[in-house]
Amino acid sequence: MSNSQLTPGVVPGRLPAKAYDANFADVIAPYDRHEAQVASDRCYFCHDAPCITACPTSIDIPLFIRQIATGTPDAAAKTIFAQNILGGMCARVCPTEQLCEEACVREAAEGKPVEIGRLQRFATDGLMAKAKHPFTRAVATGKRVAVVGAGPAGLACAHRMALLGHDVVIYDARPKPGGLNEFGIATYKTTDDFAQREVDWLLKIGGIKIETGKALGGTLSLEGLKSSYDAVFLGIGLGGVNALRSDGEDKANVLDAVDFISDLRQSTNKSQLPIGRDVVVIGGGMTAVDAAVQSKLLGAENVTIVYRRDQAKMSASPYEQGHATSAGVRIICNAMPVAVHGNGTVREVEFAYSQDTDTGLKPSAETFRLRADQVFKAIGQTLDDAPSGLALAGGKIAITAAGRTSLPGIWAGGDCASGGNDLTVTAVAEGRDAAMDIHASLMGAVR
């Protein structure tokens, strides 16, 4: 585990060997054909379906559910993939309870929506298991496009560009493609190496080459890419992690939650991962929940999420918060860290009760301490080393609705770009839409 130290409280193998497979199995079982038929029959097939509007990729949800209901799940999958080529991953990790399912008429009428996410997974998994890719490339245009970043935005952009007949090279700094889908999502949400299997399936469209171990600012320069390619798309994600800004945060076993999740995702033997007895996770988003739940699954005895504002303001959905508490995670709100205590290694974290006022977050004089032999920081990520010359907005690359940056010939999307909400499905939409604008520009339809 990155920067961790084995101490009496942080050790591997807290659980029996067989427990790890059970703990990290699929958190939601996929539908079988009969279950999917029954679930699809609950859909009203609304003419003006609010679920479509709620989907960032605008999938025709009533259509694909009707296709499942009528026994043509492969057609349903193609309907999904036409809008969201990473529909298989999104079916697993998308917060459907806040998007399409929250907008479902059944949810409004009965408090129980059509399970759109599980139906989407049923359809996409079935088609992906078949050898042939569902789409065919257009006639080659002779244009070459560079995509920097093999995460959801970059993959979606690359696939759409290849589909339209362009040749694409994807560059990524990591040793494997996939971005956060591969390195940043809880293992129990995407089992059986699904992220890599999805990339392999996506590449069957042809016309896409991936080169790993190449980072912008390292072996790649923006000027070099501009001179070598007809267009460049940046989907570089967010590489930095915000600091706690608390005394003692440099002590051993105070770690970045994203590194912890990445190490866990890449581990072939989870019993070898060291985990504390008393774990504290600081933050209120999906990364905090994923780190906390997986700490429990690795055998931590006491796991606490501490968030500085009211629980209603946590960016993790109520469903995810409930999943955390059902796994045995305690959530404490309205508290902010002020100091990390310990003799070289964390032993306690001190928090001040906080209040969200009109002039900002204010700590009170009243404090408390939590015992901790391991602390995970999940307080947001930042854009590291933004390419020079690009205008920024809110610390991210400024883009138009079509993904255009301030530099001609350069587009961007996903977490690194302004305007998104740090969701896989939003990144897919931004990559897809940027590809369409790039295509129009390259073919002379837009100047």
380, 399, 424 — which closes off a domain? 380
Please answer whether residues 141 and 443 qualify as being in contact, where contact means their C-beta atoms are separated by less than 8 angstroms: yes
Residues 166 and 88 grouped into a single domain: no
Per-residue pLDDT of 193-218, as tens digits, reads 999 999 999 999 999 999 999 999 88
Please answer whether residues 363 and 353 qualify as being in contact, where contact means their C-beta atoms are separated by less than 8 angstroms: yes
Confidence band of 138 (pLDDT split at 50, 70, 90): very high
Q: Reduced to 3 states, what is the DSSP secondary structure of residue 397?
A: strand
Residue 434: CB atoms within 10 Å: 33
Per-residue pLDDT of 258-274, as tens digits, reads 999 999 999 999 999 99
Confidence band of 372 (pLDDT split at 50, 70, 90): very high
State how far the Cα of 159 lies from the Cα of 202, in Å rounded to an integer. Answer: 7
Mean pLDDT for 302-312 is 97
Please answer whether residues 2 and 260 qualify as being in contact, where contact means their C-beta atoms are separated by less than 8 angstroms: yes
| pLDDT given at position 238 | 92
Confidence band of 7 (pLDDT split at 50, 70, 90): confident
73, 96, 128 — which closes off a domain? 128
State how far the Cα of 179 lies from the Cα of 92, in Å rounded to an integer. Answer: 16
DSSP designation for 437: H
Mean pLDDT for 175-197 is 96
DSSP string, 57-71: T---HHHHHHHHHTT
Residues 296 and 364 grouped into a single domain: yes
Query: Given a cut of 80, is residue 285 above it in pLDDT?
Result: yes
Residue 389 belongs to some domain of the structure: yes
Mean pLDDT for 103-129 is 97
Mean pLDDT for 164-193 is 96
Question: Phi, psi (5° rounding) for residue 205?
Answer: -60, -25
| pLDDT given at position 387 | 86
Residue 135 belongs to some domain of the structure: no
| pLDDT given at position 393 | 94
Per-residue pLDDT of 212-239, as tens digits, reads 999 998 889 999 999 999 999 999 999 8
Per-residue pLDDT of 402-447, as tens digits, reads 999 999 999 999 999 997 778 999 999 999 999 999 999 999 865 4
Residues 320 and 344 grouped into a single domain: yes
What length does the chain have?
Answer: 447
Residue 4 belongs to some domain of the structure: no
State how far the Cα of 30 lies from the Cα of 191, in Å rounded to an integer. Answer: 12
Residue 134 belongs to some domain of the structure: no
| pLDDT given at position 422 | 83
| pLDDT given at position 4 | 62
**Domain range for residue 233?**
144-239+383-442
Of the candidates 83, 227, 82, 231, the residue with the CA atom closest to the CA atom of residue 147: 231
State how far the Cα of 408 lies from the Cα of 405, in Å rounded to an integer. Answer: 7
Residue 85 belongs to some domain of the structure: yes
Percentage with pLDDT > 70 across the chain: 98
| pLDDT given at position 359 | 87
Strand partners, 339: 247, 350
Residue 119 belongs to some domain of the structure: yes
| pLDDT given at position 5 | 65
CATH code assigned at 91: 1.10.1060.10
CATH code assigned at 409: 3.50.50.60
Mean pLDDT for 52-67 is 98
| pLDDT given at position 131 | 83
| pLDDT given at position 445 | 61
Mean pLDDT for 32-58 is 97
State how far the Cα of 434 lies from the Cα of 446, in Å rounded to an integer. Answer: 13
Residue 2 belongs to some domain of the structure: no
Residue 3 belongs to some domain of the structure: no
Per-residue pLDDT of 242-255, as tens digits, reads 889 899 999 999 99
State how far the Cα of 148 lies from the Cα of 214, in Å rounded to an integer. Answer: 9
Residues 373 and 394 grouped into a single domain: no
Query: Given a cut of 90, is residue 155 above it in pLDDT?
Result: yes
Of the candidates 187, 72, 183, 182, the residue with the CA atom closest to the CA atom of residue 123: 72
CA 30-34-39 angle, to 5 degrees, is 75
Both tokens assigned to 162: 């290849």
Query: Given a cut of 80, is residue 396 above it in pLDDT?
Result: yes
> What are the start-end ranges of the H helices in 41-128?
50-54, 61-69, 73-83, 87-93, 100-103, 105-110, 116-128
Mean pLDDT for 381-387 is 85
Furthest CA-CA distance within the chain: 68
Mean pLDDT for 374-379 is 96
Percentage with pLDDT > 90 across the chain: 90
- Residue of higher predicted confidence among 8 and 391: 391
Residues 291 and 211 grouped into a single domain: no
Residue 288: CB atoms within 10 Å: 28
| pLDDT given at position 218 | 82
The total of structural domains in the chain comes to 3
343, 361, 380 — which closes off a domain? 380
Residues 274 and 253 grouped into a single domain: yes
| pLDDT given at position 447 | 47
